Amino acid sequence: MPNNLLSLEMAVAMETEGENHHIVKALNLLRSRICDTGFIFKDSSDGNYSKLKFMISSSVAEACNNSILLLGPRGSGKLAVLDLVIQDLLLQYPDSISVVRLSGLLHSDDISAFKEIARQLCMEHQLLFSKAASFDDNSQFMVAVLKECGLAHKSVIFILDEFDLFAQGKQRLLYSLLDAMQSVSSQAVVIGISCRLDADQLLEKRVRSRFSHRKLLFLPPSIEDSQRLLALMLTLPLESGLPYDYAVEFNKRVQNIIEDKKFKEIFNKYLNFDSSVKHLLRFLFYAVSHMDLQTGFLSRENFETASSSIQRQPKLECLKNCSILELYILVCMKRLEVKEKSLCNFNAVMKEYKSVHDSFQTSDYYARNVCLRAFEHLIHRELICFSDNRGHSLSVEFRPVKLLISSGELYQGLKAYQSCPAILQKLIDS
Amino acid sequence: MHSNLAPFFVYTLRSPHFSHLPHRCFLPHSFIPLHQTLTRTSIFNPSMASTPKKSRQSPSKSKLRSPIAAPVTPHSLPTRRSTRLSSLLTDSPKTPNLVDAFNETPKRRRRIGEKTEPVAKSRLDFSHKDKVSTRNSSIKVENEKDSAQFLKTRSKKSESDEIPFAPQSPEQSKSVKRKRKEEGEKTIELSKKRNGKDELFAPTSPDQSETKKRKRKNEVEKTVVTRAKAARKEGKIAKVQYYKKVVYDGGEFEVGDDVYVKRREDATSDEEDPEMEDCKLCFSSGDEIMIECDSCLGGFHLKCLTPPLKDVPEGDWICEICEGRKMGKDVDFPKPPEGKKLVRTMRQKLHSSDLWAARIESIWKEVDGCYWCRVRWYMIPEETSVGRQPHNLSRELYRTNDFAKIEMESVLRHCFVMTPKEYAKASNEGDDVFLCEYEYDIRWHSFKRLADIDDERENSDEGDSDEDWNAGKESDSDTDEDVDYEEENIKIAQSQPPTSHQLAANLHKGRFSGLQKIGTKRIPEHIRSHKQTNLERAKASLLLASLPKSLPCRNKEMDEITTFIKGAISDNQCLGRCLYIHGVPGTGKTMSVLSVMRSLRSEVDAGNIKPYCFVEINGLKLASPENIYKVIYEALNGHRVGWKEALRLLNERFVEGKKTGGEADRPCILLIDELDLLVTRNQSVLYNILDWPTKPHSKLIVIGIANTMDLPEKLLPRISSRMGIQRLCFAPYNYQQLQEIISSRLNGIDIFEKQAMEFASRKVAAISGDARRALEICRRAAEIADYRMKKLALNPDNVAAGKGLVCMADVEAAIQEMFQAPHIQVMKNCSRLSKIFLTAMVHELYKTGMGETTFEKLATTVSCICTSNGEVFPGYDILLQVGCKLGECRIILCEAGAKHRLQKLQLNFPSDDVTFSLRDCKDLPWLSKYLM
C-alpha cells in the first residue's frame, strides 16, 4: 500500500506543523477502529460473540468438557471473535485458563501436533521441554497434564485452526484429545475453526461420537447491516478531544456520501462480489487511507479509488503487458481452437502464425526462436499451459498446450490494448 | 514450615531419657510432659475396655461414642448443634439459597454435653493416678515389618505416580494389592491376638490399674523383644523397626491417622484438654443445650442468648457478635470473669496456630528405643501464602506436601480430617472434625484438588465390596480396603524431594517430572461459593465424563462378559480364549467391559476368584500397531524395551510357557479397544496376539472391541478362525433405552419436560442409537435453556422468565445444531454474485444433465443470465474468485483456480438444496425461474 505509506509520511509532516493536528488524530482514530475487532463484533447482543462466550465460560466455571466447531466462510470473523472471547475470559479467570493453539497447516500430522501441544503446555507451566520425546511420551504427557490441570481447576482450551486438515489420516490427535476429555478429572475445551461447512462429516465415526457437536455458524452480514456498520465506523465521536465543529462537519459529509446514489452503486457492486466483514474492512481502510489531509474530509473519490484498487482483473492486466508477438500467438491459438483443434503444440501454432502472415502480409514476422521465447513467456505467465503433466522429457515445442484465457477476455483485452495491430482485431472478430 | 521444627529438636535431645520410660516404673512427676498427662486420661476410660471390639477405635472417639450408645431421649440431652453444611458453601455471606441447601442435607447434631460425665470421671482417675505416678506410656506393637521390606515397597511405589488401579499399570497395582492382602492377613492375625489380650484385661477399673498395667507392659516388652530377636535371627540389618499401629501413651495411633501435634513447649494454658468448651457468654459448660455459631465456631447456651432460643434453629445460625461484626460494628466478646481462665479446646488452639494437625505416614522405633513417626502436615488457611480466602470454611484444612519426622512424644491425640463427602456424613466425632479438600504445595504455593483419589476409592468400593467393609469392621480387622487406602496415601506421600537437576517434563522416565508445579495460586472463588442451579446440576450429570452409578440396559451383555471371563479364569487349566465385541460407537462396549472388570476386581479382593492381571490397550493411541508388544510387556513386567525384544519376551512367556516369577503364573486378560487399528498389511500383529491364547500354557484371554461386525471375515482365515468363534454384539440403543439412560442420570433433577426427553431419544434412536449423542443433545438443550434463562434474567422487564424447564424448543434447537448441515443457511446469506453463480450451476445441470461443468461454460451461462435480467456481468476474473470462495466452503467442488477456464466445477449438495435456499431470495426474485 504505497499510498497509505505516503499519507502516513504526510501525516507526520503535518503533525510537525501542528496545524492539522486534529485531522491526523481523526485519521488515526478511524484507522485504529477499523483494525479493532472488538469494535465490530462485540456490540451485538445475541451474536456469536455472546453465545461463544457463554459456552466457553460455562465450561470453565462448571468444569465440564466441551468441543465446539466454528464454521463459516473465510473473512467472517471466526478467529477474531474467538480471540476476543479468550481475551475476556483470561481477564475473568486469570489463572484458570491455559490456551494451546494449533494450526492444521502446520501440525496436521499427529506426531508434530503432539509435540507442539507438549511444548506449549511446558511453556505454560514453566516446565522443561524435550524435543526428543516420542509420540507415546508426548501423548501420555498431555493426558497427565490435563489431569493435573483438572485437579487444579484449570481448563485447557485447545484451538485447532483449519480444523478440516486435522481430520486427515487416522485422526489420532482428535481421538486422543476427545477421549482424554471423557474422564472426570480433565477439564478441556476443544475449539475447531474451519471454513469447510462439512468439517464434522470428515470425522471418523468413533471420533464423531466423542465430539460434542456444538456448532456456531458465522455468516456474512446483509447489505443493510454492512451499511449500518459503515456508518458506525466512519462517524467521529463528538466528545473525544477533536474540535467539535470539525467532527460535526466530518459526520455530515460522511452522511452525505453514504446517501449519495453513486456511492451506493460502488458500495453494492463491491459487496456483491464478497459480503464478508473482512472484505468490507479492507475497503474502508483503503478509503480512509486515501483521505485528503488538506481538507481533512472523506470524499466519494476516496471510495472509488479504493474499490478500483481492490477489484482488479488480473488476466486483463496481464494482456496489457504482452508484446505484439505474444498477442499474435494467443490469437493464433484461439483460431486453432475455433478450428476444433483443441490440442496443439508450438509447431502447430507456428504453422498457423505463418499462414496468418502469408494471407495478410503483416509487418510483424519474427524468427522461430524469437517466437519460442515469446511462447515460453506466455507459459510462465499462465496465459497458456501444458495440457497434461506427462512428457516432461519432451522439449517445449512438442508438448501439447491449452489456452487459459477465454475468448471474451481476449477480445476485451485486445480492444483495450492501444497499439494493437488492426489485423489482430479483425482476426478475433471473424 | 521448616523453621517450625525447632521445638522438636528440643525433644530429640531429651529423647534418650524418655525412650526408656516404658520400662521404668516410677518417675518424678515433674518429668512427665504435660500433654502426656492429657492423653493418659483415655486409658482409664471405662468404655475402652468394656468391649474388646472397640479397642481399635481411638480413645477419644470411643469416649464420644460410649455414652451415646445408651438410649436417651434427645430432648433431655444437652445437645450442641452444629450447622456445618455438607455442601461447600461459604459461611459468609449468607444467601437465600443456603436454606434450601441445608434442607437437602442430613442434619447433624453434635452432642458435646453427653461427654461431660465420662470426662469428669477420667479426670478424677487421672488425679488419682498421678498420685501413684505410674509411668504408663505402654506401647503395644500391632504389626511390624522389617525396614528393608518396607523400604522396598515404598521405593517401588515411588516409581509410579499413577493411581493404583489405573489401567496403564495393572501389573504394578496388582502386585501392590497382593502385598496389601498379605499385610491384611497379618494384621488380622495380630489383631485377633490383641483382642484376646484385651479380653483378658477387661474390665479395667482405675483401682486395678497398677497390676494390669504392669502385666500388659511386660507382655508388650516380651513381644517387642521376641520380634526384635526374630529380626536379628533373619540376619537383616533392621536397625529401625516399622510399625503399623502403636499404642502410645494410651492412644492408639495407626498409620494414616490424623493427630494433633504439639507445637510450643511453653504453652501455658495447655494443662487441660477440655473436651467440652465453655459457653462464650456465661463461661461455664453445664448440661444445657449449646449451639454452635457457624462463623466463629463458638458455643453458646440456648438460654444465654438474647432472646433465649428454645430450639436449635434450622439452617445456619450466626451469633449476635459475629453478626454485629459483619455489620461493621465493633463488638467484642464479653470478657471472662476474674479468676476464670479461658480454656481453649484443641481445635481453637489449632486455629490460633498453637497446635498443628498432621497425618501419620509411618511409625518406627529407633535403635535407642524411642518411637518416631513421619507425618504429613496439615495447614490452616491462614498459614498459606494467600491467607484465608473468603470462601474458606471455618473448619477447613489443607493437606501439604511437607513431611517431617517427629517423636511420638509430641503427638497429642486424634483429630479427624475428612473429605467433603465424609465430612457431610460425619455426625458424632465431636469438635475435632476438619474438612480437607485441597492439597497445598509448600514449594510452589499452589493448590490442587484431592478429589480424584477419593473418587477412585469410592468407585472401587461401590457395590459389592461394601458388605465386605462392614464385615471387616465387625471382626475388627484391617480389611483390604483399609490397607489399600493407607498404601495409596503412602504412595501420594512420595512426592519426591526436589531433584538436583531438572528433567524434561515430557520425557517419560518412569514418571513425568515437574507436574507438581501445576496448581492454582488461589482456589478460584467461583468454584466453591457457587450454588449450582438445577440446570447446572443437570448439565453436570449429563456430562459424558461423569460416570453413572449404574449402567442401565446392558445387563445381558455384562452378564455374558462376566461368565466369559469367569469361565476362562476359574478353570484350573485356564485355556486361553478370545471374545470379539462389536457395535456402533456409543453403545457402551468399553464401559461395560470396564465395569465388569471392576466388579471382578472386588470379587478378587473378597477372595472369590483367583487374582489375574488386566491390561487395557487402545489401538488408536498406539503410535504404530507393533508398539502393542511394547505396551503389553511394559504393563506386565514394568520394563520398557523395544517392540522386537518385547515380542520375543512375550513369545517366551506365552508360547514356551517360561514363567519369570510368581506373578507371571496368573491368568492375564488383555482388552484391546479399537481392534481394527491393529490390522497391518500382513496382519502379523493380530495373528500373534490371537495365537497366544491357543497355546497350552499361555493363560491369556483376549477381548477385542471394534465397530464393524464383520472384522473377522475381512481378515485372513487363520486369524478369523481364532477370533471369530465367540462374539458379542452391542445393538444400538432403542429410544426407550436411551430414555432410561437419560432419566437415570437426571435422577432427582426435574428440569426436562417429559416429551422433550422422549423427542431427543427418539431422534437419536432413529439416526444412530448412540448414547453419547443423546446425552450431548440433552446437555446442549440444557445449555440453550440456561442461556435463554440468563438472558431473560438480564432484562428486568421479563418477570415471567419461564418455568426454568428445558422445553421442546430447546431440544429442537439442539438437534438442529447437531444434525443439520449449515450449508442452506450459508447459501441464503452469501453474496449476490455467489447466488447467481449457484443458480447458473443448477441451470447448467438441468440444461445438460451433467453433474460436472467447466468454468468457461459456466461463465457464458452467467453472462447470458446477467444480460437478460439487467445485471452487470462482473468479468471473468471476479467470477472465478467467487467460484473459488464457494469451493472453499465446499458448497461446490472445484479444481484449483489456476486452471481458469478449464477448471472443473460440481455442486457438493443436491440441487434441490440450492433451489430451496435461493427460491425466495428477495434481492434477486428472477433467480427462481432458472431454478425450476
Specify the amino acid at residue B271.
Answer: E
What tens digit of pLDDT does each residue of A372-413 get?
Answer: 999 999 999 888 888 877 767 778 888 888 888 888 888 888
Do B579 and B704 touch, CB atoms closer than 8 A?
Answer: yes
Q: How far, in Å, are B237, B355, B382, B701, B818 from residue B436 at the CA level?
A: 39, 17, 14, 42, 41
Give the separation between CA B80 and CA B430, rounded to whole angstroms. 10
Most confident region among B88-102, B186-200, B204-218, B435-449 by mean pLDDT = B435-449
Give the residue on B whose Cα is nearest the Cα of A275: B831
Grid coordinates standing for B432?
Answer: 475435632
Which chain A residues have a beta carbon less than 8 Å from that of B622? 136
Q: Decide which of B882 and B664 is more confident.
A: B882
Do A101 and A107 touch, CB atoms closer than 8 A?
Answer: no
Q: How many CA atoms lie within 13 Å of A33's alpha carbon, on the beta-carbon side?
A: 18
Which chain A residues have a beta carbon less than 8 Å from that of B505? 118, 122, 125, 127-130, 141
Grid coordinates standing for B787?
Answer: 442461556
Give the separation between CA B183 and CA B480, rounded to whole angstroms. 9
Give the residue on B whose Cα is nearest the Cα of A409: B876
DSSP secondary structure string for all residues of B317-333? ---HHHHHHHTT----P
pLDDT value of position B834: 92
Residues 6+ apart with CB under 8 A from B245: B142, B143, B252, B253, B254, B255, B363
Kind of pairing, strands B258-262 and B355-365? antiparallel
Instruction: Give, in degrees to the nearest 5, the angle at Cα B538 between B95 and B751.
Output: 85
Give the separation between CA A355 and CA A334, rounded to whole angstroms. 14
pLDDT value of position A397: 82
Task: Annotate B11-50 with b (16+ C-beta within 10 A) or e (fewer).
Answer: beeebeebbebbeeeeeeeeebbebbbbbbbbbbbbbbbb
Which chain B residues have a beta carbon less than 8 Å from that of A175? 620-621
Give the residue on B whose Cα is nearest the Cα of A216: B817
What is the least distance, in Å, from the CA of A51 to any CA of chain B? Answer: 8
Do B650 and B706 touch, CB atoms closer than 8 A?
Answer: no
Cα B770 versus chain centre, distance? 27
Which one-letter DSSP state was computed for residue B26?
Answer: B
Classified as helix, coil or strand, B358 is strand
Residues 6+ apart with CB under 8 A from A173: A110, A113, A114, A166
Q: How many CA atoms lie within 13 Å of B588's alpha carbon, on the beta-carbon side?
A: 26
Do A51 and B788 touch, CB atoms closer than 8 A?
Answer: no
Helix (H) or strand (E) holding B48, with range, is: helix B46-50
Which segments of chain A belong to CATH 1.10.10.10?
316-429
Grid coordinates standing for B235?
Answer: 540376619
* Cβ separation B830–A73 shorter than 8 A: yes
Q: What is the pTM of this model?
A: 0.72
Give the residue on A whose Cα is nearest the Cα of B512: A141
Which one-letter DSSP state was computed for residue B547?
Answer: P
- Percent pLDDT > 70 in chain A is 94
**Cα dihedral value B701, B706, B712, B718, nearest 10:** -40
Residues 6+ apart with CB under 8 A from A41: A47, A48, A49, A77, A80, A81, A84
pLDDT tops 90 at residue A358: no
Among A128, A134, A316, beta carbon nearest to B502: A128
pLDDT tops 70 at residue A5: no
Among B447, B518, B783, pick the best mutation site for testing chain A contact (most A Cβ within 10 A). B518
pLDDT average, residue stretch A72-87: 91
* Cβ separation B776–A213 shorter than 8 A: yes
pLDDT average, residue stretch B618-638: 86
Among A176, A269, A404, beta carbon nearest to B621: A176
Of A81, A120, A70, A85, nearest in space to A99 by CA:
A120
Classified as helix, coil or strand, A351 is helix
Residue A260: φ, ψ to 5°: -60, 135
Flag the least confident range among A201-215, B510-524, B660-674, B828-842.
B510-524
Which chain B residues have a beta carbon less than 8 Å from that of A138? 506
**Sign of the dihedral through C-alpha A154, A159, A163, A166:** negative
- Residue A55: is it exposed, middle or buried by C-beta count within 10 angstroms (0-12/13-18/19+)? buried
CATH architecture classification, A316-429: Orthogonal Bundle (1.10)
Of A287, A299, A364, A292, nearest in space to A327 by CA:
A364
Helix (H) or strand (E) holding A120, with range, is: helix A110-124
* Band of residue B262 on the pLDDT scale cut at 50, 70, 90: confident
Give the separation between CA B5 and CA A287, rounded to whole angstroms. 73
Helix (H) or strand (E) holding B361, with range, is: strand B355-365
Give the residue on A whose Cα is nearest the Cα of B824: A197
pLDDT value of position B444: 76
* Band of residue B664 on the pLDDT scale cut at 50, 70, 90: low
Do A258 and A231 touch, CB atoms closer than 8 A?
Answer: yes
**Sign of the dihedral through C-alpha B92, B93, B94, B95:** negative
- Helices A135-151 + B451-460 axis angle, to 10: 100
Which segments of chain A belong to CATH 3.40.50.300?
41-217
pLDDT value of position B439: 81
DSSP secondary structure string for all residues of A226-272? HHHHHHHHHPPPSSSSS-HHHHHHHHHHHHHHHH-HHHHHHHHHHHH
User: Cell 449449646 maps to which residue?
Assistant: B290
Which chain B residues have a beta carbon less than 8 Å from that of A72? 826
Grid coordinates standing for B62?
Answer: 470411643
Q: How many DSSP H helices and E strands does chain A contain?
A: 22, 7
pLDDT tops 90 at residue A194: yes
Q: What is the 3-state secondary structure (H, E, C) of B98-143?
A: HHHHHHHCCCCEECCHHHHHHHHHHHHHHHHHHHHCECCCCCEECC
Among B881, B889, B899, beta carbon nearest to A73: B889
Give the residue on B whose Cα is nearest the Cα of A317: B877
pLDDT average, residue stretch B425-432: 67
* Band of residue B297 on the pLDDT scale cut at 50, 70, 90: low
pLDDT tops 90 at residue A100: yes
pLDDT value of position B436: 81
What is the least distance, in Å, from the CA of A372 to any CA of chain B? Answer: 22
What is the least distance, in Å, from the CA of B757 to any CA of chain A? Answer: 18
pLDDT tops 70 at residue A360: yes
Among B543, B888, B901, beta carbon nearest to A73: B888
pLDDT tops 60 at residue B60: no
* Cβ separation A64–B543 shorter than 8 A: yes
Kind of pairing, strands B355-365 and B241-243? antiparallel
Which one-letter DSSP state was computed for residue A201?
Answer: G
Q: Decide which of A330 and B410 is more confident.
A: A330
What is the least distance, in Å, from the CA of A197 to any CA of chain B? Answer: 6
Residues 6+ apart with CB under 8 A from B229: none
Number of Cβ pairs < 8 A linking chain A and chain B? 256
Of A225, A299, A229, A307, nearest in space to A266 by CA:
A307
Specify the amino acid at residue B839.
Answer: T
Flag the least confident range among A314-318, B36-40, B372-376, B621-625.
B36-40
pLDDT averaged over every residue in chain B = 67
Strands (E), A162-230: 188-194, 214-217
Most confident region among A38-42, A281-285, B418-422, B499-503 by mean pLDDT = A281-285
Name the maximum alpha-carbon separation found in chain A. Answer: 88
What is the least distance, in Å, from the CA of B562 to any CA of chain A? Answer: 24
Give the separation between CA B489 and CA B498, rounded to whole angstroms. 19
Which chain A residues have a beta carbon less than 8 Å from that of B908? 198
* Band of residue B528 on the pLDDT scale cut at 50, 70, 90: low
Instruction: Give, in degrees to the nearest 5, the angle at Cα B703 between B632 and B599.
Output: 95
Residues 6+ apart with CB under 8 A from B629: B643, B644, B646, B647, B650, B685, B688
**Sign of the dihedral through C-alpha B422, B425, B428, B430:** positive
Grid coordinates standing for B336?
Answer: 471472662
Among B517, B786, B885, beta carbon nearest to A125: B517
Which chain B residues have a beta carbon less than 8 Å from that of A215? 817-818, 822
Best CATH choice for the domain A41-217 from the list 3.10.20.600, 3.40.50.150, 3.40.50.300, 3.40.1410.10: 3.40.50.300
Give the separation between CA B723 and CA B714, rounded to whole angstroms. 12
What tens digit of pLDDT does each residue of A149-166 get?
Answer: 888 888 999 999 999 999
* ipTM computed for the complex: 0.90
Residues 6+ apart with CB under 8 A from A97: A60, A86, A89, A90, A154, A155, A157
Give the residue on A whose Cα is nearest the Cα of B440: A152
Give the separation between CA B693 and CA B565, rounded to whole angstroms. 13
pLDDT value of position B862: 92
* Cβ separation A217–B545 shorter than 8 A: no
User: Cell 434453629 maps to which residue?
Assistant: B313
pLDDT value of position A10: 57
Do A187 and A65 touch, CB atoms closer than 8 A?
Answer: yes
Grid coordinates standing for B597?
Answer: 472388570
| Cross-strand partners of B449 | B438
